[in-house]
Structure 1
Amino acid sequence: MKSFYNLLVISLLLLFSMTFQTINAQDFQGRAVYQTKTTMDMGNWGGRELSEQQKKQMMERMKTFLEKTFILTFNKTESIYKEEERLEAPGAGGGGRGFGGFGASLTGGPQYKNVKDLALLQEQEFFGKQFLVKDELKKLDWKMTGETKQIGQYMCLKATATKEVDEFDWRSMRRRDDTAEKKTDTTATKEVSEEIEIPKTVEVTAWYTPQIPVSHGPGEYWGLPGLILEVSADRTVILCTKIVLNPADKEEIKVPSKGKEITQEKYNETVKEKMAEMREMWSGRNRSRGF
């Protein structure tokens, strides 16, 4: 299997040698558009079972929060990943406020990666305060499977990995009594909600193309010998829908600089402290009302 995989990769690299020449150009730049979709379990939130109609209405309200479009602009070593700007539809009601403002408050800004220097920078706004999360890129231990499939005009190879989940990654939040498919180890996260838990790890499947031999990908995913075009991780699917190599209107890849510089660990501590403060505030209000 390993020799078959090596032979397959070599064949693909020879087949796409012209693309290599394009990417090795001094001013090479690429742009990839990704559609992301996260599914959620709509059953029995808040201690009550929702009807199918209520689930449908809730999913529709949260659509702008669960389905997003991102643009990855990249060169040989750097990339910037940011959400596509769009106007909210009238009456949408702010889907990101579905967790009482929690999900919206954790929405990240532009994310910069440098795969050569292993640098990660992301602008992050949390309850009106601007932070610049600065950390080292985390490597995933990718396992090559040798499987292939076509995505658009690109031949892709499959790789899998196990990823540690950030304790405030809303995409993997689930009800504590959700026991379906116990394939992941879970840990309680009482700081967020008594009803919610987040897995410690999730299995990731990625499809990458050697036709575009850069180590970039959407979000936190990178480190494969080709651009990652599709990712499945827990309840989230990320799919590349458009690629433009060497666009006429090249965009400068700017290193984010807005906000107070902080590590991911310190940022998570800040979030915990704020959530504890809010919990105390709300419990105080409930006590004063005699609840």
Structure 2
Amino acid sequence: MLTRIIIMTLMVVLPTVNAQDFQGVATYKTHRDFDIKMDSTKVNDAMQKQMIEMMKKQFQKTYTLTFNRSASVYKQEVALDKPQVGSGFQMSFSSGGSDMLYKNIQQKTYIDQKETMGKKFLIKDSIVPIDWQLQSDTKHIGEYMCFKATYTKQVPKLNFNFNSGSNKKEDNTEKEKEPEMTERMVTAWYTPQIPVSNGPAQYHGLPGLILEIHDGKLTVICSKIVINPEEQIKIESPTKGKEVNQKEYDIIMDKKQKEMMERYAPSRGSKDGAIHITIGG
């Protein structure tokens, strides 16, 4: 209750966006830590180091959030090139160049346009409420006074294991098991000085724009905000792609991932070592 009183007081006392209708553009930098273990004796230290550097660059991205009081569009600003490591080995990740997330906070819906494996999807679904716990901690991010909020969620442990050896039936049975779950706390920093209940990606639902997120090994930090830019901005929802809901899309992606794992798994009797890649959160 004390925290809520402080927040409401600050929203009155601190300088805020006073216009009835306003727009803004926030720039966010993202970074994701990861662990990589290579058991193959054929992957030397130099190649392993190069692979790690390539992956680091892939997880350092810049996004823009264009928003008003009711809606927003979140999109990657710069698409990264496909990294290559050594001769005959290539690592590629979705650049997200055409990906776009539209959120309508008033209507509590979102439209997520994704291009995956050469095919565009238009995911339409309802925004899932987040059970934020407001905290009394404060800090400044740039010129904005920010407050802390947290919530916990259940997430699957991610472990991509490209292992060698025979592909036994019992191994296929193991793949079909439900993924092991773990509990993770998400921390957000938001500012009541920009009174929109929005934020980067799927994060939302706080009494102010979210400027910073710590979600497992994912970090999202706002580096720049422009309120009421001179050039009028249109916030429009994406329209291209096969329409599915979130559950349907997740089922499609799960199937595609299993197909890829089977396709690139070492052949039976292969003497190559295993590569274990863990991307936490």
> By the TM > 0.5 criterion, same fold?
yes
Q: What is aligned with 1:32?
A: 26
Structure 1 51/111 Cα, relative in aligned 2: closer, same or farther at 3 Å? same
Pairing 1:240–2:222 present: yes
What do the CA deviations read for 1:167-211 (whole angstroms, capped 9, x no partner)?
6xxxx73468xxxxxxxxxxxx947xx9xx774542100000000
Which residue does the alignment assign to 1:62?
A: 55
Tell me the equivalent position of 1:152.
Answer: 142
CA distance in structure 2 between the partners assigned to 1:160 and 1:41 by the alignment: 25
Matches within 5 A, 1:119-130: 119-130=109-120
Q: Report whether the alignment pairs 1:93 with 2:87.
A: no
Matched residues, number = 257
Q: Distance in 2 between matches of 1:231 and 1:108?
A: 23
Normalized per residue, which structure has more helix?
1
Q: Secondary structure at the residue paired with 1:62?
A: helix
The one-letter amino acid paired with 1:248 is E
Q: Retained in 2: the 8 A contact 1:36–1:68?
A: yes
C-alpha displacement at 1:158, in angstroms?
Answer: 0.2
Amino acid at match of 1:45: M
CA distance in 2, matches of 1:100, 1:238: 24
Whether the aligned pair in 1 keeps the contact of 2:61 and 2:78 (CA below 8 Å) is no
Matched, 1:21 2:18: yes
Distance in 2, Cα, partners of 1:280 & 1:59: 24
Find out whether 1:259 has 2:237 as its counterpart. no
- 2:207 equivalent to 1:228: no
Distance 1:199 1:235 in 2: 16
Please tell me the residue identity of whatever aligns with 1:41: D
Distance 1:224 1:277, change over 3 A: same
Q: Relative to 1, partners in 2 of residues 1:21 and 1:235: Cα closer, same or farther, differing over 3 Å?
A: same
Q: Is the 8 A contact 1:108 1:122 kept in 2?
A: no
Bigger relative contact order, structure 1 or 2 (CA pairs below 8 A, ≥6 apart):
2
1:79 aligns to what SS in structure 2? strand
Counterparts of 2:264 and 2:211 in 1: how far apart (Å)? Answer: 43
Distance 2:261 2:33 in 1: 27
Against the structure 1 CA distance between its residues 125 and 52, is the aligned structure 2 distance closer, same or farther, given a 3 Å change threshold? same
Q: Does the 8 Å contact 2:190/2:209 carry over to 1?
A: yes
Given candidates 109, 116, 133, the residue that maps to 2:123 is: 133
Change (3 A) 1:287 1:173: closer
The residue matched to 1:104 in structure 2 has which SS? coil
Which residue of the partner structure matches residue 67 of structure 2? 74
The equivalent position to 1:9 in structure 2, one of 7, 12, 18, is 7
Give unmatched runs, 5+ long, in structure 2.
Answer: 162-173, 273-281
Q: Specify whether residues 288 and 204 from structure 1 end up closer, same or farther in structure 2 by C-alpha distance, changes over 3 A only.
A: closer
Question: Does the CA contact (< 8 Å) of 2:149 and 2:188 recur in 1?
Answer: yes
State the secondary structure of the residue aligned to 1:248: coil
Deviation string 1:104-138 (CA, Å, 9 cap, x unpaired) is 28887100001111111111112111110111111
The answer to whether the Cα contact below 8 Å between 2:76 and 2:97 also exists between their aligned partners in 1 is no
Whole-angstrom CA distance in 2 between matches of 1:125 and 1:275? 15
TM superposition score normalised by structure 1:
0.76
Deviation of 1:55 after TM superposition, in Å, equals 5.0
